[in-house]
Amino acid sequence: MTRGRRWRVVVLALAALYFLVPLVASAEFSLRAPGGGYGVANYTRIAEDPVLLSALFTSLRIAVLTAVIVLLLVVPTAVWVRLRFPSLAAVLESATILPIVIPPVVMAAGIAFVQANLGGPVFRALFDSSTSALTPFYVILALPFAYRAVDNGLAAIPLRTLVEAARNLGAGMTTALVRVILPAIRSAVLGAAFLTLALVLGEIVIARILLYTDTFPIAVVETGRSAAGVSVALSLASLLLTWVLLLAVSFVGGRRRRSLRSRPSVRRRTP
C-alpha cells in the first residue's frame, strides 16, 4: 500500500468514526430500559403516544404540501429559463441563494412582526393553523436545494433536443413537460422532494418563534425534557427515514442509468 493510499484510508476511517460513534452512542442510549437493561420501550412509546403521532402527521402533511408547491414552482421555471432565457440562469441561481444567506431566525422575527401587527381576514386565515402558516415559509427555505437538484438534472439531459422532438411529434409544451422531461429527470425531482421533506422534519426555528408547538421537531425537543430516551429514539427514527428516502433516490437514479446503458444504440445505415 502506497503512502498516499494509507493517508486516504486513515482519513476515511477518521471520518467514519466521526459520524458513526455519535450514532452508535445515540442508538445505545435509546435502547436503555427505564428499569435497567436494554429494550425497545422508547420506540414502542412513539407509536403509543397520540401527541407524538399527531405532531409527526402534522409535519408530514406540511412536508408533502411544501414539496408539491416547490416542485410546481421550480420545475417549470427551471425548464423555461433553460429553453427561453438561458442568460437569466445566473440571476435565478443568485436569487435562490437568498434563503440560505438570510438566517431563519431573522425570517422568523419578520414573520412574527407581521403576525403581531397586521390584521385582516387574510392574515388571520394564514396564521390560523400551523399548516397554512408554516408551509409558505418552508417553501422559501426549500427553494435553494430543490432548484439546484432540478437544475442539475436538467443539465444532464439534452433538454432542447427532447422538447423539439416532442413538439415535432405534435405534443404541446405541457405534454412535453409531463411525459418527456419529468421522466428524464425523475431522480432529480425525487431528490428535490426528499430534501424538502428532510428540511421540514428538521426545521424548528420558525415554528418555535411563531409558537406552533404541534410540529415534529418541537415535539422531539419537548419530549426530551421529560423522556430523553424517547427523544433520542425519535431523532434516530427521523434520521433513518431520511436515509431510506435518499437511498431510494439513489436506487431510482442508478436503475435509470443502467436501463439507459443497456438500450442498444441505433446506428444509421449507409446505403
Does residue 186 have a pLDDT over 70?
Answer: yes
What CATH number does residue 183 fall under?
A: 1.10.3720.10
Contacts of 254 (CB under 8 A, 6+ apart): none
The total number of structural domains that make up the chain: 1
Mean pLDDT of all residues in 22-51 = 83
Weakest-pLDDT range from 141-150, 151-160, 234-243: 234-243
Instruction: Give residue 62's pLDDT band: very low, low, confident or very high (50, 70, 90).
Output: very high
Does residue 113 have a pLDDT over 50?
Answer: yes
Helix (H, G, I), strand (E, B) or coil at 38: strand
Weakest-pLDDT range from 178-192, 196-210, 247-261: 247-261
pLDDT at 120: 67
Mean pLDDT of the chain: 82
CB 147 within 8 A of CB 212: no
pLDDT at 75: 93
Q: Would residue 53 count as lying in a domain? A: no
Helix (H, G, I), strand (E, B) or coil at 32: strand
Kind and range of the H or E run holding 228: helix 228-262
Q: Would residue 127 count as lying in a domain? A: yes
Q: Which three cell numbers stand for residue 182?
A: 419529468
Does residue 183 have a pLDDT over 70?
Answer: yes
Q: Would residue 243 count as lying in a domain? A: yes
pLDDT at 267: 44
Instruction: Give residue 194's pLDDT band: very low, low, confident or very high (50, 70, 90).
Output: confident
Q: Would residue 5 count as lying in a domain? A: no
Q: Would residue 19 count as lying in a domain? A: no
Domain interval for residue 82: 64-253
pLDDT at 258: 58
Q: Would residue 84 count as lying in a domain? A: yes
pLDDT at 39: 83
Kind and range of the H or E run holding 139: helix 130-155
What is the phi-psi region of residue 102: left when phi exceeds 0, alpha when psi lies from -120 to 50, beta otherwise?
beta
CB 252 within 8 A of CB 186: yes
Q: Where are the beta strands (DSSP E) in the chain?
A: none
Question: How many whole angstroms separate alpha carbon 107 and alpha carbon 200?
Answer: 15
Q: Which three cell numbers stand for residue 34?
A: 427505564
Instruction: Give residue 67's pLDDT band: very low, low, confident or very high (50, 70, 90).
Output: very high
